[in-house]
Chain A
Protein backbone atom coordinates (compact mmCIF):
# COMPACT_ATOMS: atom_id res chain seq x y z
CA UNK A 1 0.00 0.00 0.00
CA UNK A 2 1.11 3.56 -0.69
CA UNK A 3 0.99 6.07 2.13
CA UNK A 4 2.04 9.67 2.69
CA UNK A 5 2.50 10.92 6.24
CA UNK A 6 2.73 14.68 6.88
CA UNK A 7 4.51 15.14 3.55
CA UNK A 8 5.67 18.59 2.53
CA UNK A 9 7.86 19.68 -0.33
CA UNK A 10 9.49 22.99 -1.12
CA UNK A 11 11.29 24.18 -4.25
CA UNK A 12 13.52 27.01 -3.07
CA UNK A 13 11.10 29.23 -1.14
CA UNK A 14 7.93 27.91 -2.82
CA UNK A 15 5.82 25.35 -0.98
CA UNK A 16 4.57 22.78 -3.50
CA UNK A 17 3.08 20.32 -1.01
CA UNK A 18 2.05 21.19 2.51
CA UNK A 19 1.49 18.53 5.17
CA UNK A 20 -0.24 15.90 3.03
CA UNK A 21 -1.34 12.68 4.74
CA UNK A 22 -2.97 9.95 2.64
CA UNK A 23 -3.28 6.16 2.58
CA UNK A 24 -4.09 4.70 -0.83
CA UNK A 25 -5.31 1.09 -0.68
CA UNK A 26 -7.75 1.48 -3.60
CA UNK A 27 -7.04 -0.07 -7.01
CA UNK A 28 -7.77 3.12 -8.97
CA UNK A 29 -6.89 6.53 -7.53
CA UNK A 30 -7.01 9.80 -9.48
CA UNK A 31 -5.27 13.08 -8.67
CA UNK A 32 -6.68 16.31 -10.07
CA UNK A 33 -5.85 19.95 -9.55
CA UNK A 34 -4.79 23.08 -11.37
CA UNK A 35 -1.29 23.45 -12.81
CA UNK A 36 1.14 23.85 -9.92
CA UNK A 37 -1.24 22.32 -7.36
CA UNK A 38 1.33 19.67 -6.40
CA UNK A 39 -0.29 16.57 -7.90
CA UNK A 40 2.68 15.61 -10.11
CA UNK A 41 5.09 16.14 -7.22
CA UNK A 42 2.94 13.85 -5.09
CA UNK A 43 2.98 11.18 -7.81
CA UNK A 44 6.73 11.45 -8.38
CA UNK A 45 7.40 10.81 -4.72
CA UNK A 46 6.01 7.28 -5.10
CA UNK A 47 9.09 6.03 -6.93
CA UNK A 48 11.61 8.43 -5.44
CA UNK A 49 11.91 10.86 -8.36
CA UNK A 50 11.11 13.63 -5.87
CA UNK A 51 12.03 13.44 -2.20
CA UNK A 52 9.83 15.02 0.44
CA UNK A 53 11.34 17.93 2.32
CA UNK A 54 9.40 16.79 5.41
CA UNK A 55 7.36 13.72 6.24
CA UNK A 56 7.56 10.25 4.77
CA UNK A 57 6.27 8.22 1.84
CA UNK A 58 5.95 4.43 2.01
CA UNK A 59 5.31 1.84 -0.70
CA UNK A 60 4.53 -1.53 0.87
CA UNK A 61 6.48 -0.32 3.90
CA UNK A 62 9.52 0.69 1.79
CA UNK A 63 10.94 4.20 1.68
CA UNK A 64 11.37 5.31 -1.99
CA UNK A 65 14.30 7.50 -0.93
CA UNK A 66 16.42 4.87 0.80
CA UNK A 67 14.99 1.72 -0.87
CA UNK A 68 14.68 3.25 -4.34
CA UNK A 69 15.71 0.16 -6.32
CA UNK A 70 13.26 -2.10 -4.46
CA UNK A 71 10.45 0.44 -4.84
CA UNK A 72 11.08 0.90 -8.57
CA UNK A 73 10.74 -2.86 -9.05
CA UNK A 74 7.20 -2.49 -7.67
CA UNK A 75 6.27 0.83 -9.25
CA UNK A 76 6.13 1.68 -12.96
CA UNK A 77 5.89 5.31 -14.09
CA UNK A 78 4.43 6.69 -17.32
CA UNK A 79 5.25 10.34 -18.07
CA UNK A 80 3.41 12.95 -20.15
CA UNK A 81 5.84 13.03 -23.06
CA UNK A 82 6.58 9.58 -24.50
CA UNK A 83 9.52 10.95 -26.51
CA UNK A 84 11.43 11.39 -23.28
CA UNK A 85 10.76 7.83 -22.14
CA UNK A 86 11.81 6.00 -25.27
CA UNK A 87 15.51 5.25 -25.00
CA UNK A 88 16.12 2.69 -27.75
CA UNK A 89 15.77 3.07 -31.52
CA UNK A 90 13.10 0.43 -32.15
CA UNK A 91 9.93 -0.42 -30.24
CA UNK A 92 11.06 -3.97 -29.47
CA UNK A 93 14.47 -2.88 -28.25
CA UNK A 94 12.89 -0.24 -26.03
CA UNK A 95 10.62 -2.72 -24.27
CA UNK A 96 13.52 -5.21 -24.05
CA UNK A 97 15.56 -2.45 -22.39
CA UNK A 98 13.16 -2.57 -19.43
CA UNK A 99 13.80 -6.30 -19.07
CA UNK A 100 17.59 -6.14 -19.06
CA UNK A 101 17.88 -6.69 -15.31
CA UNK A 102 15.38 -9.53 -15.04
CA UNK A 103 15.88 -11.48 -18.30
CA UNK A 104 19.53 -12.10 -19.14
CA UNK A 105 19.03 -13.96 -22.44
CA UNK A 106 18.71 -11.49 -25.32
CA UNK A 107 16.52 -13.71 -27.51
CA UNK A 108 14.14 -14.32 -24.61
CA UNK A 109 14.06 -10.57 -23.90
CA UNK A 110 13.14 -9.86 -27.52
CA UNK A 111 10.41 -12.52 -27.47
CA UNK A 112 8.96 -11.18 -24.21
CA UNK A 113 9.07 -7.64 -25.60
CA UNK A 114 7.17 -8.72 -28.73
CA UNK A 115 4.55 -10.41 -26.52
CA UNK A 116 4.03 -7.27 -24.43
CA UNK A 117 3.76 -5.11 -27.56
CA UNK A 118 1.24 -7.51 -29.11
CA UNK A 119 -0.85 -7.58 -25.93
CA UNK A 120 -1.26 -3.79 -25.99
CA UNK A 121 -2.06 -2.99 -29.59
CA UNK A 122 1.45 -2.82 -31.06
CA UNK A 123 1.66 -6.25 -32.66
CA UNK A 124 4.18 -6.33 -35.50
CA UNK A 125 5.88 -3.10 -34.38
CA UNK A 126 8.89 -4.67 -32.66
CA UNK A 127 11.27 -3.67 -35.47
CA UNK A 128 9.58 -0.34 -36.14
CA UNK A 129 11.66 2.81 -35.46
CA UNK A 130 10.22 4.11 -32.18
CA UNK A 131 10.32 7.77 -33.18
CA UNK A 132 8.31 7.11 -36.33
CA UNK A 133 5.35 5.85 -34.31
CA UNK A 134 2.32 8.11 -33.91
CA UNK A 135 1.89 10.00 -30.63
CA UNK A 136 -0.66 7.47 -29.40
CA UNK A 137 1.54 4.53 -30.35
CA UNK A 138 4.52 6.13 -28.61
CA UNK A 139 2.55 6.48 -25.40
CA UNK A 140 1.43 2.85 -25.72
CA UNK A 141 5.09 1.93 -26.18
CA UNK A 142 6.02 3.86 -23.03
CA UNK A 143 3.27 1.98 -21.21
CA UNK A 144 4.54 -1.35 -22.61
CA UNK A 145 8.04 -0.48 -21.37
CA UNK A 146 6.63 -0.30 -17.86
CA UNK A 147 4.16 -3.20 -18.06
CA UNK A 148 6.94 -5.51 -19.28
CA UNK A 149 8.27 -5.35 -15.74
CA UNK A 150 4.87 -6.40 -14.35
CA UNK A 151 4.94 -3.83 -11.53
CA UNK A 152 2.37 -3.86 -8.71
CA UNK A 153 1.66 -0.15 -9.08
CA UNK A 154 1.48 2.03 -12.18
CA UNK A 155 1.78 5.79 -11.75
CA UNK A 156 0.71 7.83 -14.79
CA UNK A 157 1.47 11.56 -14.85
CA UNK A 158 -0.89 13.20 -17.37
CA UNK A 159 -0.31 10.39 -19.88
CA UNK A 160 -3.02 11.49 -22.31
CA UNK A 161 -2.23 15.22 -22.51
CA UNK A 162 -0.60 14.83 -25.95
CA UNK A 163 -3.07 12.25 -27.30
CA UNK A 164 -6.14 12.66 -29.48
CA UNK A 165 -9.56 11.43 -28.36
CA UNK A 166 -9.26 8.01 -29.99
CA UNK A 167 -5.86 7.29 -28.42
CA UNK A 168 -6.99 8.70 -25.08
CA UNK A 169 -9.88 6.21 -25.05
CA UNK A 170 -7.56 3.41 -26.11
CA UNK A 171 -5.15 4.28 -23.30
CA UNK A 172 -8.04 4.49 -20.80
CA UNK A 173 -9.35 1.08 -21.90
CA UNK A 174 -5.93 -0.47 -21.35
CA UNK A 175 -5.61 1.14 -17.91
CA UNK A 176 -9.08 -0.14 -16.97
CA UNK A 177 -8.08 -3.72 -17.74
CA UNK A 178 -4.81 -3.77 -15.81
CA UNK A 179 -4.34 -5.88 -12.71
CA UNK A 180 -2.03 -3.19 -11.28
CA UNK A 181 -2.99 -0.48 -8.83
CA UNK A 182 -3.16 2.70 -10.93
CA UNK A 183 -2.45 6.22 -9.68
CA UNK A 184 -3.48 8.64 -12.41
CA UNK A 185 -2.64 12.35 -12.47
CA UNK A 186 -4.84 13.99 -15.07
CA UNK A 187 -6.69 17.04 -16.32
CA UNK A 188 -9.02 14.81 -18.31
CA UNK A 189 -11.84 14.26 -15.84
CA UNK A 190 -13.58 11.72 -18.12
CA UNK A 191 -10.70 9.32 -17.51
CA UNK A 192 -11.66 9.08 -13.86
CA UNK A 193 -15.04 7.45 -14.48
CA UNK A 194 -14.92 4.06 -12.81
CA UNK A 195 -12.13 5.05 -10.45
CA UNK A 196 -12.46 4.22 -6.76
CA UNK A 197 -11.21 7.50 -5.39
CA UNK A 198 -10.22 10.98 -6.54
CA UNK A 199 -7.96 13.33 -4.59
CA UNK A 200 -8.25 17.06 -5.39
CA UNK A 201 -5.22 19.26 -4.69
CA UNK A 202 -5.05 23.03 -4.57
CA UNK A 203 -2.01 25.04 -3.57
CA UNK A 204 -0.21 21.93 -2.31
CA UNK A 205 -3.04 20.93 0.01
CA UNK A 206 -5.62 18.14 -0.30
CA UNK A 207 -8.94 20.00 -0.53
CA UNK A 208 -11.19 17.06 -1.43
CA UNK A 209 -10.81 13.30 -1.21
CA UNK A 210 -13.87 11.32 -2.25
CA UNK A 211 -15.51 9.11 -4.83
CA UNK A 212 -15.12 10.49 -8.39
CA UNK A 213 -18.62 12.07 -8.56
CA UNK A 214 -18.44 14.37 -5.52
CA UNK A 215 -14.68 14.99 -5.87
CA UNK A 216 -15.00 16.13 -9.50
CA UNK A 217 -18.04 18.27 -8.67
CA UNK A 218 -15.99 19.95 -5.93
CA UNK A 219 -13.10 20.49 -8.34
CA UNK A 220 -15.36 22.04 -11.00
CA UNK A 221 -16.78 24.46 -8.40
CA UNK A 222 -13.27 25.24 -7.18
CA UNK A 223 -12.02 26.31 -10.60
CA UNK A 224 -15.26 28.10 -11.39
Chain B
Protein backbone atom coordinates (compact mmCIF):
# COMPACT_ATOMS: atom_id res chain seq x y z
CA UNK B 1 0.00 0.00 0.00
CA UNK B 2 1.08 3.54 -0.69
CA UNK B 3 1.98 5.03 2.71
CA UNK B 4 1.76 8.62 1.51
CA UNK B 5 -1.50 8.40 -0.33
CA UNK B 6 -5.17 7.59 -0.16
CA UNK B 7 -7.99 9.38 1.51
CA UNK B 8 -8.97 8.44 5.06
CA UNK B 9 -12.65 9.37 5.56
CA UNK B 10 -13.39 11.82 8.35
CA UNK B 11 -15.40 14.87 9.39
CA UNK B 12 -12.65 17.14 10.76
CA UNK B 13 -12.35 20.78 9.65
CA UNK B 14 -9.45 19.72 7.40
CA UNK B 15 -11.65 17.09 5.75
CA UNK B 16 -14.39 19.65 5.20
CA UNK B 17 -12.09 22.39 3.84
CA UNK B 18 -12.37 22.87 0.04
CA UNK B 19 -9.67 21.10 -1.98
CA UNK B 20 -8.53 24.14 -4.02
CA UNK B 21 -7.48 26.38 -1.09
CA UNK B 22 -5.99 23.36 0.71
CA UNK B 23 -3.87 22.60 -2.35
CA UNK B 24 -2.71 26.22 -2.48
CA UNK B 25 -1.79 26.18 1.24
CA UNK B 26 0.13 22.94 0.67
CA UNK B 27 2.07 24.50 -2.22
CA UNK B 28 2.93 27.56 -0.10
CA UNK B 29 4.02 25.42 2.89
CA UNK B 30 6.18 23.14 0.73
CA UNK B 31 7.76 26.12 -1.07
CA UNK B 32 8.54 27.86 2.23
CA UNK B 33 10.08 24.81 3.90
CA UNK B 34 12.24 24.22 0.83
CA UNK B 35 13.54 27.80 0.59
CA UNK B 36 13.96 28.55 4.33
CA UNK B 37 17.08 27.32 6.10
CA UNK B 38 16.34 28.46 9.65
CA UNK B 39 16.20 25.41 11.95
CA UNK B 40 13.84 27.04 14.46
CA UNK B 41 11.45 28.10 11.73
CA UNK B 42 11.51 24.61 10.14
CA UNK B 43 10.91 22.97 13.52
CA UNK B 44 7.92 25.28 13.92
CA UNK B 45 6.62 24.17 10.49
CA UNK B 46 6.92 20.53 11.58
CA UNK B 47 4.99 21.38 14.75
CA UNK B 48 2.28 23.10 12.70
CA UNK B 49 1.89 20.03 10.50
CA UNK B 50 1.69 17.87 13.65
CA UNK B 51 -1.15 20.11 14.87
CA UNK B 52 -2.81 19.49 11.49
CA UNK B 53 -2.68 15.73 12.14
CA UNK B 54 -4.14 16.26 15.62
CA UNK B 55 -7.02 18.24 14.11
CA UNK B 56 -7.64 15.77 11.24
CA UNK B 57 -7.35 12.68 13.50
CA UNK B 58 -6.68 10.12 10.76
CA UNK B 59 -6.56 6.43 11.83
CA UNK B 60 -3.47 5.63 13.92
CA UNK B 61 -2.43 2.88 11.53
CA UNK B 62 -2.21 5.39 8.69
CA UNK B 63 -0.31 7.92 10.84
CA UNK B 64 2.12 5.18 11.89
CA UNK B 65 2.72 4.26 8.23
CA UNK B 66 3.62 7.87 7.43
CA UNK B 67 5.72 8.26 10.59
CA UNK B 68 7.65 5.06 9.90
CA UNK B 69 8.52 6.15 6.37
CA UNK B 70 9.57 9.63 7.54
CA UNK B 71 11.69 8.12 10.32
CA UNK B 72 13.56 5.88 7.87
CA UNK B 73 14.11 8.81 5.50
CA UNK B 74 15.21 11.10 8.34
CA UNK B 75 17.74 8.59 9.65
CA UNK B 76 19.13 7.79 6.20
CA UNK B 77 19.25 11.33 4.76
CA UNK B 78 20.15 12.94 8.10
CA UNK B 79 22.97 10.47 8.72
CA UNK B 80 24.37 11.02 5.25
CA UNK B 81 24.18 14.82 5.59
CA UNK B 82 25.71 14.72 9.07
CA UNK B 83 28.63 12.69 7.76
CA UNK B 84 29.13 14.70 4.55
CA UNK B 85 28.21 18.29 5.48
CA UNK B 86 27.64 18.76 9.21
CA UNK B 87 24.91 18.99 11.89
CA UNK B 88 23.39 22.32 10.78
CA UNK B 89 22.83 21.18 7.17
CA UNK B 90 21.61 17.77 8.35
CA UNK B 91 19.00 19.36 10.62
CA UNK B 92 17.79 21.71 7.86
CA UNK B 93 17.48 18.90 5.30
CA UNK B 94 15.72 16.50 7.66
CA UNK B 95 13.27 19.09 8.98
CA UNK B 96 12.47 20.35 5.45
CA UNK B 97 11.90 16.81 4.22
CA UNK B 98 9.73 15.81 7.17
CA UNK B 99 7.63 18.99 7.07
CA UNK B 100 7.04 18.79 3.29
CA UNK B 101 6.25 15.06 3.13
CA UNK B 102 4.10 15.08 6.26
CA UNK B 103 2.13 18.08 4.93
CA UNK B 104 1.63 16.37 1.54
CA UNK B 105 0.50 13.20 3.26
CA UNK B 106 -1.91 15.14 5.49
CA UNK B 107 -3.38 16.66 2.34
CA UNK B 108 -3.98 13.29 0.64
CA UNK B 109 -5.33 11.77 3.87
CA UNK B 110 -7.95 14.51 4.20
CA UNK B 111 -8.80 15.20 0.55
CA UNK B 112 -10.59 13.01 -1.97
CA UNK B 113 -8.71 12.75 -5.26
CA UNK B 114 -12.00 13.43 -7.01
CA UNK B 115 -12.07 16.81 -5.24
CA UNK B 116 -8.43 17.53 -6.18
CA UNK B 117 -9.16 16.71 -9.82
CA UNK B 118 -12.19 19.03 -9.76
CA UNK B 119 -10.14 21.80 -8.09
CA UNK B 120 -7.34 21.51 -10.66
CA UNK B 121 -9.88 21.61 -13.49
CA UNK B 122 -11.60 24.66 -11.97
CA UNK B 123 -8.33 26.44 -11.20
CA UNK B 124 -6.94 25.94 -14.68
CA UNK B 125 -10.23 26.79 -16.40
CA UNK B 126 -9.14 30.34 -17.37
CA UNK B 127 -6.13 28.88 -19.21
CA UNK B 128 -8.42 27.06 -21.64
CA UNK B 129 -8.20 30.04 -24.02
CA UNK B 130 -4.44 29.41 -24.27
CA UNK B 131 -4.99 25.82 -25.35
CA UNK B 132 -4.63 24.24 -21.90
CA UNK B 133 -7.04 21.30 -21.35
CA UNK B 134 -7.88 21.46 -17.62
CA UNK B 135 -9.79 18.15 -17.65
CA UNK B 136 -6.72 16.37 -19.04
CA UNK B 137 -4.48 17.89 -16.34
CA UNK B 138 -7.05 17.02 -13.66
CA UNK B 139 -7.12 13.44 -14.88
CA UNK B 140 -3.32 13.42 -14.87
CA UNK B 141 -3.34 14.31 -11.17
CA UNK B 142 -5.78 11.49 -10.39
CA UNK B 143 -3.86 8.94 -12.44
CA UNK B 144 -0.54 9.98 -10.89
CA UNK B 145 -1.80 9.32 -7.36
CA UNK B 146 -3.40 6.07 -8.47
CA UNK B 147 -0.20 4.99 -10.27
CA UNK B 148 1.79 4.97 -7.02
CA UNK B 149 -0.34 2.13 -5.63
CA UNK B 150 -0.43 0.26 -8.94
CA UNK B 151 3.34 0.39 -9.47
CA UNK B 152 3.93 -0.70 -5.87
CA UNK B 153 1.65 -3.71 -6.45
CA UNK B 154 3.46 -4.62 -9.70
CA UNK B 155 6.84 -4.28 -7.97
CA UNK B 156 5.74 -6.51 -5.07
CA UNK B 157 4.41 -9.18 -7.43
CA UNK B 158 7.55 -9.12 -9.62
CA UNK B 159 9.77 -9.35 -6.52
CA UNK B 160 7.79 -12.37 -5.26
CA UNK B 161 8.16 -14.08 -8.64
CA UNK B 162 11.92 -13.42 -8.65
CA UNK B 163 12.28 -14.83 -5.12
CA UNK B 164 10.23 -17.91 -6.11
CA UNK B 165 12.70 -18.56 -8.93
CA UNK B 166 15.68 -18.12 -6.62
CA UNK B 167 16.65 -14.80 -8.20
CA UNK B 168 15.64 -12.50 -5.35
CA UNK B 169 18.92 -10.58 -5.47
CA UNK B 170 19.14 -10.24 -9.25
CA UNK B 171 18.48 -6.66 -10.49
CA UNK B 172 17.74 -8.03 -13.97
CA UNK B 173 15.17 -10.51 -12.68
CA UNK B 174 13.36 -7.56 -11.13
CA UNK B 175 13.89 -4.76 -13.65
CA UNK B 176 12.97 -6.56 -16.90
CA UNK B 177 9.58 -7.98 -15.86
CA UNK B 178 8.81 -4.78 -13.91
CA UNK B 179 9.31 -2.63 -17.00
CA UNK B 180 7.43 -5.08 -19.25
CA UNK B 181 4.46 -5.32 -16.86
CA UNK B 182 4.41 -1.56 -16.32
CA UNK B 183 4.32 -0.95 -20.07
CA UNK B 184 1.60 -3.58 -20.50
CA UNK B 185 -0.37 -1.95 -17.69
CA UNK B 186 -0.01 1.44 -19.41
CA UNK B 187 -1.29 -0.09 -22.64
CA UNK B 188 -4.30 -1.68 -20.94
CA UNK B 189 -5.01 1.48 -18.95
CA UNK B 190 -5.04 3.47 -22.20
CA UNK B 191 -7.62 1.09 -23.66
CA UNK B 192 -9.72 1.23 -20.49
CA UNK B 193 -9.64 5.04 -20.49
CA UNK B 194 -10.70 5.09 -24.14
CA UNK B 195 -13.53 2.66 -23.34
CA UNK B 196 -14.67 5.00 -20.55
CA UNK B 197 -14.86 7.91 -22.95
CA UNK B 198 -11.67 9.75 -21.96
CA UNK B 199 -10.78 11.90 -24.96
CA UNK B 200 -14.38 11.97 -26.14
CA UNK B 201 -14.84 15.40 -24.56
CA UNK B 202 -13.66 16.95 -27.83
CA UNK B 203 -16.47 15.21 -29.73
CA UNK B 204 -18.97 16.25 -27.03
CA UNK B 205 -17.95 19.88 -27.44
CA UNK B 206 -18.21 19.70 -31.23
CA UNK B 207 -21.71 18.24 -31.08
CA UNK B 208 -22.77 20.63 -28.31
Contact = CB atoms under 8 A, between A and B. Distances in A.
Interface of A: 47-49, 68-70, 72-73, 76-77, 79, 81, 83-90, 92-93, 96-98, 100-101, 106, 109-110, 127, 129-132, 145-146, 149
A48 B194 CA distance: 9
B81 interface: no
A84 B149 CA distance: 12
A76 B113 CA distance: 24
Contacts of A72: 194-197, 200
B179 interface: no
A54 B5 CA distance: 47
A81 B181 CA distance: 13
A84 B158 CA distance: 17
B195 A77 contact: yes
Interface stretch (B23-31, B48-56, B91-99, B183-191): B183-191
A80 to B, nearest CB: 9
B195 A129 contact: no
B201 A101 contact: yes
Nearest to A85: B192
Nearest to B192: A85
A106 B204 CA distance: 19
Contacts of A68: 200, 203
A109 B189 CA distance: 22
Contacts of B197: 69, 72-73, 98, 101, 149
Contacts of A48: 194
Contacts of B38: none
Nearest to B10: A127
Give chain A's interface secondary structure class.
helix
B146 to A, nearest CB: 5
8 contacts: A48-B194, A87-B193, A88-B142, A89-B149, A92-B114, A93-B142, A106-B114, A106-B115
A89 B5 contact: yes
A81 B202 CA distance: 28
B150 interface: yes
Interface magnitude class on chain B: 35 or more
Going nearest first, the 4 A-B pairs with the smallest beta carbon separation are A69-B203, A84-B188, A69-B200, A77-B195
Nearest to B187: A84
B126 to A, nearest CB: 18
A149 to B, nearest CB: 8
A129 B146 contact: no
B85 interface: no
A88 B146 contact: yes
The interface centre, meaning the residue of A49, A69, A89, A97 with most chain B CB atoms within 10 A of its CB, is: A89
The interface centre, meaning the residue of A86, A109, A149 with most chain B CB atoms within 10 A of its CB, is: A86
B114 to A, nearest CB: 4
A175 B7 CA distance: 31
Interface in B126-170: 135, 139, 142-143, 145-146, 149-150, 153
A89 B200 contact: no
B188 A79 contact: yes
A63 B17 CA distance: 46
Nearest to B149: A131
B113 A88 contact: yes
